Amino acid sequence: MIFLGNLFFKKFWVAIMFYAYLPVTAYADGIVPSCPLGVCKFADFQQLGTNLLAFLISILLPLAIIGISIVGVKLVMSADNAKGTTEAKASLLNVLLGIAVAVGAIIIVQLIFSTLGAGSSIPDING
């Protein structure tokens, strides 16, 4: 019976993530800039990088919130189990490390683009 409960729990989160990311995938349509006559210039490459960063930033925050929420549920459900609490704390560390890696990647890409002359501002995710 516990297996069915875990299976339901996993399917529930998959459904939540699917419906939560439908708008994000629709937003992904405008990532690649249109090049006139099929000839892309360096400014188009810079625009592609800016659009890609905006898309990644729009994905990072919801994923971080969902990950921390799942860890919180695990932590509450395993309050009387030392092994479960340890696993939940390890999961929290993994979520925080993932956030740090994603933010670090965004900073590195911004550094590269500012070095190449594309500006150093983080793109606005609202358009």
Mean pLDDT by 10 residues, the chain (127 residues): 53 68 60 75 78 79 86 86 88 90 83 70 51
Domain that residue 26 falls in: 2-116
Tell me if 126 is assigned to some domain: no
Q: How many domains does the chain have?
A: 1
Q: What is the pLDDT of residue 2?
A: 45
Q: What is the pLDDT of residue 122?
A: 53
Q: What is the pLDDT of residue 4?
A: 44
Q: What is the pLDDT of residue 3?
A: 43
Q: What is the pLDDT of residue 97?
A: 92
Q: What is the pLDDT of residue 88?
A: 87
Tell me if 46 is assigned to some domain: yes
Q: Please report, in angstroms and rounded to a whole number, the separation of the first and last CA atoms in the chain.
A: 48
Tell me if 64 is assigned to some domain: yes
